Amino acid sequence: MTPANDFLRVSKRIEQFRDEMVDLQVRLCALPAVAPSSGGEGEARKAEFLRSFLEDNGFEGPTLVKAPDMDAPAGYRPNLLAVYKGRSSARTVWVMTHLDVVPPGELAVWRGDPFKAWVEKGRVYGRGAEDNQQDMVASLFALKAFRAEGLKPAFDVGIALVADEETGSRKGIQYVLEHDNPFRKQDLIIVPDAGNEKGTLIEVAEKSLLWLKIRTLGRQTHGANPEKGVNAFKAASFLVADLETLYRRFPAKDRLFDPPLSTFEPTKKEANVPNINTIPGEDVFYMDSRILPAYPVEAVEKKIRALADRIEARFGVRVEIEVKQKAPAAPPTSVRAPVVQALKRAVKAVYRKEARAAGIGGGTVAALFRHSGFAAACWSKIEDTAHQPNEYCVIDNMVGDAKVYAHIFLQE
Ligand SMILES: [Zn+2]
Protein backbone atom coordinates (compact mmCIF):
# COMPACT_ATOMS: atom_id res chain seq x y z
CA MET A 1 0.00 0.00 0.00
CA THR A 2 2.97 2.27 0.54
CA PRO A 3 4.24 3.49 -2.82
CA ALA A 4 7.51 1.54 -2.97
CA ASN A 5 9.39 4.13 -4.95
CA ASP A 6 8.46 6.96 -2.58
CA PHE A 7 9.54 4.89 0.37
CA LEU A 8 12.92 4.19 -1.24
CA ARG A 9 13.48 7.87 -1.91
CA VAL A 10 12.57 8.94 1.63
CA SER A 11 14.70 6.13 3.10
CA LYS A 12 17.75 7.19 1.13
CA ARG A 13 17.23 10.77 2.18
CA ILE A 14 16.96 9.74 5.84
CA GLU A 15 20.29 7.95 5.54
CA GLN A 16 21.86 11.11 4.16
CA PHE A 17 20.57 12.95 7.25
CA ARG A 18 22.46 10.62 9.60
CA ASP A 19 25.06 13.20 10.68
CA GLU A 20 22.46 15.94 11.03
CA MET A 21 20.41 13.63 13.25
CA VAL A 22 23.42 13.03 15.49
CA ASP A 23 24.04 16.77 15.55
CA LEU A 24 20.48 17.47 16.70
CA GLN A 25 20.88 14.83 19.42
CA VAL A 26 24.00 16.57 20.71
CA ARG A 27 22.24 19.94 20.73
CA LEU A 28 19.23 18.53 22.59
CA CYS A 29 21.44 16.90 25.24
CA ALA A 30 22.99 20.32 25.86
CA LEU A 31 19.59 21.65 26.97
CA PRO A 32 18.99 19.70 30.18
CA ALA A 33 15.22 19.49 30.63
CA VAL A 34 15.05 18.13 34.15
CA ALA A 35 11.75 18.64 36.01
CA PRO A 36 11.71 21.29 38.77
CA SER A 37 10.63 18.62 41.27
CA SER A 38 13.85 16.75 40.39
CA GLY A 39 15.96 19.88 40.86
CA GLY A 40 15.99 21.13 37.25
CA GLU A 41 14.69 24.12 35.31
CA GLY A 42 12.07 22.32 33.23
CA GLU A 43 11.74 22.05 29.46
CA ALA A 44 11.24 25.70 28.35
CA ARG A 45 14.66 26.24 26.71
CA LYS A 46 14.55 22.90 24.93
CA ALA A 47 11.01 23.64 23.70
CA GLU A 48 12.05 27.07 22.39
CA PHE A 49 14.89 25.49 20.45
CA LEU A 50 12.60 22.84 18.99
CA ARG A 51 9.93 25.38 18.16
CA SER A 52 12.39 27.12 15.80
CA PHE A 53 13.37 23.75 14.37
CA LEU A 54 9.72 23.00 13.59
CA GLU A 55 9.15 26.47 12.11
CA ASP A 56 12.23 26.11 9.89
CA ASN A 57 11.14 22.74 8.61
CA GLY A 58 7.69 23.28 7.21
CA PHE A 59 5.47 22.40 10.15
CA GLU A 60 2.15 24.15 10.70
CA GLY A 61 1.78 25.83 14.03
CA PRO A 62 3.55 25.01 16.17
CA THR A 63 1.25 25.61 19.12
CA LEU A 64 2.74 25.93 22.55
CA VAL A 65 0.43 24.66 25.29
CA LYS A 66 1.71 26.06 28.57
CA ALA A 67 0.88 24.20 31.75
CA PRO A 68 1.36 26.67 34.62
CA ASP A 69 4.15 25.66 37.03
CA MET A 70 5.37 28.18 39.56
CA ASP A 71 8.34 25.97 40.41
CA ALA A 72 9.76 26.30 36.89
CA PRO A 73 11.81 29.48 36.16
CA ALA A 74 9.70 30.04 33.02
CA GLY A 75 6.49 29.78 35.09
CA TYR A 76 5.12 27.02 32.88
CA ARG A 77 5.87 23.62 31.37
CA PRO A 78 5.82 23.61 27.58
CA ASN A 79 3.93 21.21 25.32
CA LEU A 80 4.55 21.69 21.61
CA LEU A 81 2.06 20.52 19.01
CA ALA A 82 2.77 20.80 15.31
CA VAL A 83 1.18 19.39 12.20
CA TYR A 84 2.85 18.46 8.92
CA LYS A 85 0.22 18.56 6.21
CA GLY A 86 -0.55 15.39 4.29
CA ARG A 87 -2.64 14.75 1.21
CA SER A 88 -5.67 14.13 3.41
CA SER A 89 -6.72 15.53 6.78
CA ALA A 90 -9.26 12.76 7.41
CA ARG A 91 -6.99 11.56 10.18
CA THR A 92 -3.70 12.46 11.78
CA VAL A 93 -0.81 10.14 12.50
CA TRP A 94 0.66 11.34 15.80
CA VAL A 95 4.09 10.65 17.19
CA MET A 96 4.38 11.78 20.78
CA THR A 97 7.72 12.03 22.52
CA HIS A 98 8.66 13.78 25.75
CA LEU A 99 11.00 16.71 26.27
CA ASP A 100 11.97 16.06 29.87
CA VAL A 101 14.85 13.91 31.04
CA VAL A 102 15.67 12.40 34.42
CA PRO A 103 18.66 13.74 36.40
CA PRO A 104 22.00 12.13 35.59
CA GLY A 105 22.38 10.54 39.02
CA GLU A 106 25.88 9.74 40.33
CA LEU A 107 28.21 11.68 38.00
CA ALA A 108 31.26 9.59 38.92
CA VAL A 109 29.86 6.57 37.07
CA TRP A 110 29.45 8.53 33.82
CA ARG A 111 32.35 8.29 31.37
CA GLY A 112 31.71 11.85 30.21
CA ASP A 113 29.50 14.88 30.88
CA PRO A 114 25.87 13.67 30.57
CA PHE A 115 24.89 17.01 29.05
CA LYS A 116 27.78 17.17 26.58
CA ALA A 117 26.86 14.25 24.37
CA TRP A 118 29.62 12.25 22.74
CA VAL A 119 29.69 9.74 19.90
CA GLU A 120 31.41 6.39 20.28
CA LYS A 121 31.09 3.15 18.28
CA GLY A 122 27.90 4.12 16.48
CA ARG A 123 26.21 5.41 19.62
CA VAL A 124 25.35 8.84 20.98
CA TYR A 125 25.93 9.00 24.74
CA GLY A 126 24.18 11.54 26.94
CA ARG A 127 21.23 12.00 29.26
CA GLY A 128 18.08 11.85 27.15
CA ALA A 129 19.82 10.35 24.10
CA GLU A 130 17.57 7.30 24.15
CA ASP A 131 14.78 8.45 26.46
CA ASN A 132 13.21 10.15 24.58
CA GLN A 133 15.32 11.99 22.00
CA GLN A 134 16.10 8.97 19.83
CA ASP A 135 12.61 8.78 18.44
CA MET A 136 11.92 12.49 18.76
CA VAL A 137 14.79 13.10 16.33
CA ALA A 138 13.73 10.09 14.23
CA SER A 139 10.17 11.38 13.77
CA LEU A 140 11.34 14.93 12.97
CA PHE A 141 13.82 13.77 10.35
CA ALA A 142 11.32 11.40 8.76
CA LEU A 143 9.31 14.51 7.92
CA LYS A 144 12.38 16.53 6.97
CA ALA A 145 13.03 13.80 4.40
CA PHE A 146 9.51 14.17 2.99
CA ARG A 147 10.10 17.88 2.60
CA ALA A 148 13.48 17.39 0.95
CA GLU A 149 11.95 14.94 -1.54
CA GLY A 150 8.91 17.14 -2.19
CA LEU A 151 6.62 14.34 -1.05
CA LYS A 152 3.47 14.53 1.03
CA PRO A 153 2.44 12.04 3.71
CA ALA A 154 -0.84 10.22 2.98
CA PHE A 155 -2.44 11.89 6.01
CA ASP A 156 -1.54 14.80 8.27
CA VAL A 157 1.26 13.98 10.67
CA GLY A 158 1.14 15.40 14.17
CA ILE A 159 4.20 15.86 16.30
CA ALA A 160 3.60 16.21 20.03
CA LEU A 161 6.60 17.13 22.17
CA VAL A 162 5.40 17.08 25.75
CA ALA A 163 6.65 17.98 29.21
CA ASP A 164 6.59 16.22 32.54
CA GLU A 165 6.55 12.57 31.42
CA GLU A 166 9.05 11.46 34.04
CA THR A 167 7.16 12.91 36.99
CA GLY A 168 3.57 11.97 36.27
CA SER A 169 2.54 13.88 33.08
CA ARG A 170 0.09 16.16 34.89
CA LYS A 171 1.76 19.17 33.27
CA GLY A 172 2.44 17.22 30.11
CA ILE A 173 0.10 15.10 28.00
CA GLN A 174 -2.50 15.00 30.80
CA TYR A 175 -2.72 18.79 30.65
CA VAL A 176 -2.96 18.77 26.85
CA LEU A 177 -5.75 16.17 26.93
CA GLU A 178 -7.69 18.24 29.45
CA HIS A 179 -7.13 21.74 28.03
CA ASP A 180 -6.21 21.72 24.36
CA ASN A 181 -6.99 18.29 23.02
CA PRO A 182 -6.15 18.02 19.30
CA PHE A 183 -6.64 14.23 19.10
CA ARG A 184 -9.50 12.52 17.31
CA LYS A 185 -10.80 8.97 17.69
CA GLN A 186 -9.72 8.03 14.15
CA ASP A 187 -6.13 9.26 14.68
CA LEU A 188 -3.18 6.91 14.95
CA ILE A 189 -1.19 7.62 18.11
CA ILE A 190 2.34 6.27 18.44
CA VAL A 191 4.25 6.72 21.69
CA PRO A 192 7.89 5.62 21.25
CA ASP A 193 8.61 5.31 24.96
CA ALA A 194 8.80 1.52 25.29
CA GLY A 195 10.07 -1.26 23.08
CA ASN A 196 12.75 -3.89 22.78
CA GLU A 197 16.16 -4.44 21.18
CA LYS A 198 14.76 -5.99 18.02
CA GLY A 199 12.00 -3.45 17.50
CA THR A 200 9.39 -6.20 17.63
CA LEU A 201 7.40 -5.18 20.71
CA ILE A 202 4.26 -3.10 20.22
CA GLU A 203 2.96 -2.32 23.67
CA VAL A 204 -0.84 -2.13 23.74
CA ALA A 205 -1.83 -2.95 27.29
CA GLU A 206 -0.60 -2.88 30.83
CA LYS A 207 -1.45 -4.41 34.15
CA SER A 208 -2.86 -2.46 37.07
CA LEU A 209 -0.30 -1.64 39.70
CA LEU A 210 -0.89 -1.84 43.44
CA TRP A 211 1.82 -1.12 46.02
CA LEU A 212 0.93 -1.71 49.66
CA LYS A 213 2.63 -1.08 52.97
CA ILE A 214 1.48 -3.64 55.51
CA ARG A 215 2.10 -2.84 59.16
CA THR A 216 1.37 -5.46 61.79
CA LEU A 217 1.13 -4.34 65.42
CA GLY A 218 1.48 -6.77 68.31
CA ARG A 219 3.15 -6.30 71.71
CA GLN A 220 6.90 -6.37 72.31
CA THR A 221 8.21 -8.61 75.06
CA HIS A 222 11.23 -10.67 76.21
CA GLY A 223 12.23 -13.56 73.98
CA ALA A 224 11.97 -15.98 76.90
CA ASN A 225 8.32 -15.13 77.60
CA PRO A 226 6.45 -14.96 74.31
CA GLU A 227 3.13 -15.53 76.11
CA LYS A 228 3.47 -12.06 77.68
CA GLY A 229 3.49 -10.30 74.30
CA VAL A 230 2.19 -10.69 70.77
CA ASN A 231 4.77 -11.54 68.09
CA ALA A 232 4.05 -9.17 65.21
CA PHE A 233 6.72 -10.70 62.97
CA LYS A 234 5.22 -14.18 63.35
CA ALA A 235 1.68 -12.98 62.62
CA ALA A 236 2.91 -11.04 59.58
CA SER A 237 4.74 -14.13 58.34
CA PHE A 238 1.49 -16.12 58.40
CA LEU A 239 -0.10 -13.25 56.49
CA VAL A 240 2.67 -13.38 53.86
CA ALA A 241 1.98 -17.10 53.45
CA ASP A 242 -1.78 -16.45 53.14
CA LEU A 243 -1.19 -13.75 50.51
CA GLU A 244 0.26 -16.45 48.26
CA THR A 245 -3.35 -17.70 47.86
CA LEU A 246 -4.08 -14.57 45.78
CA TYR A 247 -2.54 -16.41 42.85
CA ARG A 248 -5.35 -19.01 43.19
CA ARG A 249 -8.08 -16.49 43.86
CA PHE A 250 -7.21 -14.38 40.80
CA PRO A 251 -6.10 -17.06 38.35
CA ALA A 252 -6.99 -15.51 34.98
CA LYS A 253 -4.41 -15.84 32.21
CA ASP A 254 -3.92 -13.44 29.32
CA ARG A 255 -1.34 -14.39 26.72
CA LEU A 256 -0.96 -10.77 25.67
CA PHE A 257 1.20 -10.42 28.78
CA ASP A 258 4.51 -11.87 29.87
CA PRO A 259 4.12 -13.29 32.46
CA PRO A 260 0.51 -14.05 31.42
CA LEU A 261 -0.93 -13.85 34.94
CA SER A 262 -1.45 -11.39 37.80
CA THR A 263 1.45 -11.31 40.27
CA PHE A 264 1.29 -10.72 44.03
CA GLU A 265 4.71 -10.48 45.62
CA PRO A 266 5.92 -9.42 49.07
CA THR A 267 8.98 -7.23 48.45
CA LYS A 268 10.57 -4.77 50.85
CA LYS A 269 11.00 -5.64 54.51
CA GLU A 270 11.73 -3.10 57.21
CA ALA A 271 14.09 -4.00 60.05
CA ASN A 272 12.52 -4.75 63.42
CA VAL A 273 14.27 -5.29 66.75
CA PRO A 274 18.08 -5.14 66.75
CA ASN A 275 18.59 -8.07 69.12
CA ILE A 276 17.69 -11.75 69.04
CA ASN A 277 16.06 -12.03 72.48
CA THR A 278 13.18 -9.58 71.95
CA ILE A 279 9.79 -10.52 70.53
CA PRO A 280 9.01 -7.75 68.03
CA GLY A 281 5.85 -5.74 68.61
CA GLU A 282 5.82 -4.25 65.12
CA ASP A 283 6.42 -5.61 61.65
CA VAL A 284 6.41 -3.78 58.33
CA PHE A 285 6.59 -5.29 54.87
CA TYR A 286 5.55 -4.17 51.41
CA MET A 287 3.84 -5.79 48.50
CA ASP A 288 3.99 -5.20 44.75
CA SER A 289 1.00 -6.51 42.80
CA ARG A 290 0.59 -6.35 39.01
CA ILE A 291 -3.00 -7.19 38.18
CA LEU A 292 -4.46 -8.15 34.81
CA PRO A 293 -7.00 -5.61 33.49
CA ALA A 294 -9.66 -8.37 33.83
CA TYR A 295 -9.75 -7.80 37.61
CA PRO A 296 -10.75 -4.57 39.35
CA VAL A 297 -7.97 -3.47 41.73
CA GLU A 298 -10.60 -3.02 44.44
CA ALA A 299 -11.43 -6.73 44.34
CA VAL A 300 -7.80 -7.54 45.14
CA GLU A 301 -7.67 -4.92 47.89
CA LYS A 302 -10.84 -6.34 49.45
CA LYS A 303 -9.43 -9.86 49.45
CA ILE A 304 -6.16 -8.73 51.03
CA ARG A 305 -8.13 -6.93 53.75
CA ALA A 306 -10.14 -10.09 54.42
CA LEU A 307 -6.94 -12.13 54.79
CA ALA A 308 -5.57 -9.50 57.17
CA ASP A 309 -8.79 -9.64 59.22
CA ARG A 310 -8.32 -13.37 59.69
CA ILE A 311 -4.75 -12.85 60.90
CA GLU A 312 -5.96 -10.17 63.34
CA ALA A 313 -8.52 -12.56 64.81
CA ARG A 314 -6.12 -15.48 65.00
CA PHE A 315 -3.10 -13.72 66.55
CA GLY A 316 -4.62 -10.71 68.33
CA VAL A 317 -2.65 -8.22 66.23
CA ARG A 318 -3.75 -5.16 64.31
CA VAL A 319 -2.91 -5.04 60.61
CA GLU A 320 -2.80 -1.63 58.95
CA ILE A 321 -2.75 -1.54 55.16
CA GLU A 322 -1.63 1.62 53.44
CA VAL A 323 -1.83 2.13 49.66
CA LYS A 324 1.55 3.52 48.52
CA GLN A 325 0.63 3.55 44.85
CA LYS A 326 -2.38 2.48 42.87
CA ALA A 327 -2.68 2.77 39.10
CA PRO A 328 -5.65 0.94 37.61
CA ALA A 329 -4.89 -0.29 34.09
CA ALA A 330 -6.34 1.59 31.16
CA PRO A 331 -8.54 -0.29 28.70
CA PRO A 332 -6.08 -2.00 26.31
CA THR A 333 -5.60 -0.89 22.72
CA SER A 334 -6.95 -3.62 20.44
CA VAL A 335 -4.34 -5.78 18.73
CA ARG A 336 -6.38 -5.11 15.57
CA ALA A 337 -6.27 -1.31 15.96
CA PRO A 338 -5.04 0.55 12.83
CA VAL A 339 -2.05 1.95 14.73
CA VAL A 340 -0.88 -1.59 15.58
CA GLN A 341 -1.35 -2.79 12.01
CA ALA A 342 0.51 0.23 10.61
CA LEU A 343 3.46 -0.39 12.95
CA LYS A 344 3.57 -4.09 12.03
CA ARG A 345 3.72 -3.32 8.31
CA ALA A 346 6.43 -0.69 8.78
CA VAL A 347 8.61 -2.84 11.08
CA LYS A 348 8.38 -5.65 8.56
CA ALA A 349 9.42 -3.35 5.72
CA VAL A 350 12.32 -1.69 7.55
CA TYR A 351 13.67 -4.29 10.00
CA ARG A 352 12.40 -7.45 8.21
CA LYS A 353 10.88 -8.70 11.46
CA GLU A 354 7.39 -9.62 12.64
CA ALA A 355 6.38 -7.27 15.44
CA ARG A 356 3.98 -8.53 18.07
CA ALA A 357 1.39 -6.65 20.13
CA ALA A 358 1.87 -7.32 23.84
CA GLY A 359 1.12 -6.11 27.33
CA ILE A 360 3.67 -5.11 29.95
CA GLY A 361 3.70 -5.07 33.74
CA GLY A 362 4.54 -1.41 34.26
CA GLY A 363 2.85 1.84 33.35
CA THR A 364 3.64 3.93 30.27
CA VAL A 365 2.38 7.35 29.32
CA ALA A 366 0.23 5.76 26.58
CA ALA A 367 -2.18 4.75 29.34
CA LEU A 368 -3.28 8.38 29.60
CA PHE A 369 -4.46 8.25 26.00
CA ARG A 370 -6.22 4.95 26.61
CA HIS A 371 -7.95 6.28 29.73
CA SER A 372 -9.25 9.11 27.50
CA GLY A 373 -10.58 6.65 24.92
CA PHE A 374 -7.80 6.86 22.29
CA ALA A 375 -6.07 3.84 20.80
CA ALA A 376 -2.37 4.42 21.42
CA ALA A 377 0.55 2.05 20.92
CA CYS A 378 4.07 2.21 22.35
CA TRP A 379 6.86 1.16 20.07
CA SER A 380 10.54 1.81 19.40
CA LYS A 381 13.77 -0.12 18.81
CA ILE A 382 15.75 0.54 21.95
CA GLU A 383 18.48 -0.95 24.10
CA ASP A 384 16.73 0.19 27.27
CA THR A 385 19.49 2.40 28.66
CA ALA A 386 16.93 4.95 29.88
CA HIS A 387 17.62 6.46 33.32
CA GLN A 388 21.00 4.69 33.53
CA PRO A 389 24.44 6.24 33.71
CA ASN A 390 26.03 6.44 30.23
CA GLU A 391 22.60 6.36 28.59
CA TYR A 392 23.03 6.01 24.85
CA CYS A 393 21.12 5.79 21.59
CA VAL A 394 22.23 3.44 18.83
CA ILE A 395 22.48 5.65 15.76
CA ASP A 396 21.29 2.81 13.50
CA ASN A 397 18.14 2.55 15.64
CA MET A 398 17.50 6.27 15.34
CA VAL A 399 17.90 6.14 11.55
CA GLY A 400 15.92 2.88 11.27
CA ASP A 401 13.06 4.18 13.41
CA ALA A 402 12.91 7.28 11.21
CA LYS A 403 12.33 4.95 8.25
CA VAL A 404 9.60 3.13 10.19
CA TYR A 405 7.83 6.45 10.72
CA ALA A 406 8.32 7.41 7.08
CA HIS A 407 6.76 4.10 6.04
CA ILE A 408 3.76 4.68 8.27
CA PHE A 409 3.37 8.27 7.00
CA LEU A 410 3.18 6.92 3.44
CA GLN A 411 0.61 4.24 4.24
CA GLU A 412 -2.77 4.98 2.63
ZN1 LIG B 1 10.66 8.13 28.46
Write down the pLDDT at residue 2: 60
105-149 residue pLDDT tens: 999 999 999 999 999 999 999 999 999 999 999 999 999 999 999
Q: What angle, 0 to 180 degrees and rounded to 10, lies between the N-to-C axes of helices 338-351 and 395-410?
A: 130
Residue 113 among the catalytic residues: no
Residue 283 among the catalytic residues: no
Contact 42, 77 (CB under 8 A): yes
258 pLDDT higher than 90: no
- The pairing of strands 392-394 and 123-125 is antiparallel
Residues having C-beta closer than 5 Å to ion ligand 1: 131-132, 193
Cα radius of gyration (the chain): 25
Under DSSP, the state recorded for 228 is G
- CA-nearest of 182, 361, 186, 164 to 256 is 361
Write down the pLDDT at residue 60: 86
Under DSSP, the state recorded for 381 is B
159-200 residue pLDDT tens: 999 999 998 899 999 999 999 899 999 999 999 998 999 999
Contact 379, 202 (CB under 8 A): yes
Considering all CA atoms of the chain, what is the largest pairwise distance in Å, rounded to the nearest integer? 86
Contact 141, 20 (CB under 8 A): yes
- Of the residues 6, 43, 100, 203, only one is catalytic, namely 100
20 pLDDT higher than 80: yes
- CA-nearest of 156, 138, 12, 42 to 89 is 156
191 CA → ligand 1 middle, Å: 9
- Number of Cα atoms under 13 Å in the Cβ half of residue 327: 16
107 CA → ligand 1 middle, Å: 20
193 CA → ligand 1 middle, Å: 5
Write down the pLDDT at residue 40: 96
353-411 residue pLDDT tens: 999 999 988 778 899 999 999 999 999 999 999 999 999 999 999 999 999 999 999 99
365 CA → ligand 1 middle, Å: 8
In this prediction the pTM is 0.88
